[in-house]
Structure 1
Amino acid sequence: MDGFYERFGERVRKARAALGMNQQELGSAVGLNRTSISNIEKGRQRVALHMLFEFADVLQVEPESLLPAPGGRSDVLDELPEDARDWAQSVLAKVRREAGHG
């Protein structure tokens, strides 16, 4: 189960970084402190199910995009090199923001 929370935390971190948001800003937006966000991103702190929707709303992503693939499978973005993955995440976040405004 720890691997699940580590992968969840990594997805939160990537989505946060794609928005150019720091841990303090994310924490304030979802009602947690920066230390909690750091622990969540490292997989050391578990989150209540309702918080999935809080994170998704603030990070402008679909809730399911923060959940690791079933059975530990990787998703398409996990196959990209780190620098390309971050770029792809930022492009997806921008497209989602623009789609939400139009």
Structure 2
Amino acid sequence: MPQPDDPQVDRFYAAVGDRIRDARSAARLTQAELAASLGLARSSIANIEGGRQRLPLHMVILIAETLNIDVSELLPDMAESQPAPDLNNIDEKLHDADESSRDFVESALAQLIGKPEPKE
């Protein structure tokens, strides 16, 4: 279980903030309008959307109700708050892999980052 100061918790709140911002924008509300409807300062909404301010559970429900969406739309799945895989030094990490595995990984990465695969 992650602790409150764990980076995974920070990523979770950042993902919640992104979802709140997206839902607010879709509802065509400004931060100030959403804040006023919730009795908060506009800066609180900015901090929540930026993942810098953790909000109590009842506020998540109030925000969902104000934006006329289901509360589940504001909560990311855990995969969204997982760290990105470390792709630094990929050559070192693949050093002991067989050639077929290395070729597969290099091909997949080339497709993901949009770089053409090297010609043989």
For normalisation by structure 1, the TM-score amounts to 0.69
- In structure 2, how many angstroms separate the alpha carbons of the residues matched to 1:47 and 1:32? 11
Q: Which 4+ stretches in 1 moved above 3 angstroms? A: none
**Percent identity between the aligned chains?**
44
RMSD value, Cα: 1.5
Q: Who is 2:69 aligned against? A: 61
Q: Is 1:11 matched up with 2:19?
A: yes
- In structure 1, how many angstroms separate the alpha carbons of the residues matched to 2:58 and 2:73? 15
Q: Is 1:26 matched up with 2:34?
A: yes
* Structure 2 residue ranges without an equivalent (≥5): 1-8, 82-120
- In structure 2, how many angstroms separate the alpha carbons of the residues matched to 1:47 and 1:11? 13
Q: How many residues are paired up? A: 74
- In structure 2, how many angstroms separate the alpha carbons of the residues matched to 1:37 and 1:56? 13
For normalisation by structure 2, the TM-score amounts to 0.59
* Structure 1 residue ranges without an equivalent (≥5): 74-102
Measured after TM superposition, the shift of residue 70 of structure 1 is 2.4
Q: Which amino acid aligns with 1:63?
A: V
Q: Which protein is bigger by CA-based radius of gyration?
A: 2
Which of the pair has the greater relative contact order for Cα pairs under 8 Å at 6+ separation? Answer: 1
